[in-house]
Structure formats: C-alpha cells, structure tokens
C-alpha cells in the first residue's frame, strides 16, 4: 500500500510537539501523549529508535523526560522518518539485491530507485522547523 504507519505518524507528531515546546527543559512522554492524542505505551516505544538515532535525548526519574538532542534546524524529516519506519525502501530489492529473483532482467529496479530518490530528496530538504510553519 506504500503508506506511512502509525509509528511514523505518531512519532512525527510527537517530535513536532517538542519543537514547539522546546523552551521547557524536558517534557514527559505522558504529556505528549495527552496533548497529541497518542496511546502512551505505544508512544513510549517509538522513542527508543529516536534516542538511539541521536535525535532525542531522554532522562529518567523525577522531572525527567525527553527533548531534542540537536537544534531542530539540524534534524531532517527524512532522518526522523527513517528512524521510525526503517530505511526508505519502496521495494525490497532496493535494500537487498538478493531479494529479487529476476534482478538481471527486472526492469523495475531502476524505476523504483529513481522514484525513491525523488521522494528522499524532498524529505531530506525539510528540517523540523519547516513542520511548524
């Protein structure tokens, strides 16, 4: 179906919330969940890859929470999407040549590659401040 999943949708929504409320030191995942209408335990999971990817910074305990690890201008939308959804790959063969049993005579491989590059270019050209406009 070639569509963003809830993981991407929710994750982006949460990150945008952090961009807009970046003044405050740290924001709890519970807050984000309430304000952005995202199931809390699910959202909690989504932060794991964002932290691993160096996009988000988290601390536990009282007055802990999450915040952007870098300036929003320095984080591209592509980066966030790939952290949440895995590497962009419109077709499996773009990730792993072995996945295509007809690679040599495929014909589609190059088309997908070109389409994906066009899409990636757009997502890479936007940073997190672009989302608040």
Partner DNA sequence: CTATTTGTGAGAATATTACTCTTAATAGCG
Partner DNA sequence: CGCTATTAAGAGTAATATTCTCACAAATAG
Positions in the binding site for DNA (CB under 7 A) = 1, 5-7, 10, 26-30, 39-42, 44-45, 47-48, 51, 58-66
* Nearest alpha carbon to residue 56 among 92, 23, 29: 29
What does the per-residue mask of binding to a copy of itself show for 64-83, with x meaning CB under 8 A? -------------x------
Which residue stretch of 23-31, 45-53, 59-67, 125-133 sits at the interface with a copy of itself (rule: CB under 8 A)? 125-133
Phi, psi of 127 (to 5 degrees): -110, 180
Closest approach of Cβ 122 to a copy of itself, in Å? 4
* Nearest alpha carbon to residue 14 among 85, 68, 91, 95: 68
Phi, psi of 76 (to 5 degrees): -85, 155
Question: Which of the listed partners (DNA, a copy of itself, none) does 49 bind, with a CB threshold of 5 to 8 Å by partner kind?
Answer: none
Answer yes or no: are the C-beta atoms of 12 and 2 closer than 8 Å: no
The smaller minimum CB distance to a copy of itself, of residues 2 and 62, is found at 2
The reply on whether position 116 binds a copy of itself by CB under 8 A is yes
Q: Is 3 helix (H, G, I), strand (E, B) or coil?
A: coil
Q: Strand locations in the chain, DSSP E? A: 56-59, 65-68
The reply on whether position 89 binds a copy of itself by CB under 8 A is yes
The reply on whether position 48 binds a copy of itself by CB under 8 A is no
Question: Which of the residues 10 through 39 are near a copy of itself (CB under 8 A)?
Answer: 12-13, 16, 36-37
- Count of alpha carbons within 13 Å of 74, Cβ hemisphere only? 7
């Amino acid at each position: 179906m070639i569509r963003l999943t809830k993981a991407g949708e929710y994750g982006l929504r949460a990150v945008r919330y952090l961009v807009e409320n970046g003044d405050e030191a740290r924001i709890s995942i519970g807050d984000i969940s309430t304000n952005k209408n995202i199931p809390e335990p699910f959202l909690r999971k989504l932060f794991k890859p964002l932290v691993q990817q160096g996009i988000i910074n988290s601390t536990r305990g009282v007055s802990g929470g999450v915040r952007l690890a870098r300036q929003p201008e320095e984080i591209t939308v592509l980066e966030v999407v790939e952290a949440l959804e895995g590497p962009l790959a419109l077709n499996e063969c773009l990730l792993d040549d072995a996945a295509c049993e007809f690679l040599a005579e495929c014909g589609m491989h190059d088309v997908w590659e070109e389409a994906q590059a066009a899409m990636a270019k757009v997502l890479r050209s936007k940073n997190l401040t672009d989302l608040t406009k």
